[in-house]
Amino acid sequence: MFSIDLADDAQLFPLEARHAEEFFAHIERGREFIGQYVGFPDRSPDLDAARAFLAKYAVKAGEDGPRFFGIRLDGTLVGGVLFPAFDADGGNCEIGCWLEPAGAGRGLVTKACQVLIDYAIGERGMHRVEWHAATGNKKSLAVAERLGMTREGVMRQNYLHRGVRQDTEVWSLLAHEWSAARSA
């Protein structure tokens, strides 16, 4: 299995259906924290559902579409980053993230997103990377800002989560902005 070091004790790796048990154990630990803003814990009530969820994304990854990556801290899956949208022909993609509490506050998601942006822009020639987060999700919005993204606006009441329609902020980073930040 290949992985990329985010720190001495943390690695980023492609999250696949064969990791379902590890993934489900992680969801169980982080269900409430992650589920505040992210839908997949609610859609993964048991191991079979978690496996089916990862398998669905494996199919999409095989089509060069959306894909998931896990983050392990001291060998334990504590979160991940993903491309919820990945359109290589159009040059647009979106990045998302989540952590269970044990992984938070260490910069792991920011570093993992930097790896994904390097891949998307540097290797795959993407022009635009988007970030979507609920207006109340201050920690997620702080990641977008830390990555050098620009706030573009708000999609009003576009995301139905746990029975509530949430507003979503859209942030983005363009290829030339990332290159300039990288060489600065």
Ligand X SMILES: CC(C)(COP(=O)(O)OP(=O)(O)OC[C@H]1O[C@@H](n2cnc3c(N)ncnc32)[C@H](O)[C@@H]1OP(=O)(O)O)[C@@H](O)C(=O)NCCC(=O)NCCS
Q: Compare residues 53 and 98 and give the one whose CB is closer to ligand X.
A: 98
Segment holding 183, helix H or strand E: helix 175-183
Site size for ligand X, by CB under 6 A? Answer: 22
178: contact with ligand X by CB under 6 A: no
Find out whether 82 and 115 touch, Cβ atoms under 8 Å.
no
CA-angle at 70, arms to 64 and 74, nearest 5°:
155
Residue 139 in the binding site for ligand X (CB under 6 A): yes
Q: Strands (DSSP E) along the chain, which ranges?
A: 4-7, 10-14, 67-73, 76-87, 92-99, 128-134, 150-161, 164-174
Q: x/- site string to ligand X, residues 31 to 70, per CB under 6 A?
A: --xx-xxx--------------------------------
The reply on whether position 116 binds ligand X by CB under 6 A is no
Of these, 50, 93, 143, 170, which contacts ligand X (CB under 6 A)? 143
Question: Which residues in this chain contact ligand X in the complex, by CB under 6 A?
Answer: 33-34, 36-38, 96-99, 104-110, 133, 137, 139-140, 142-143
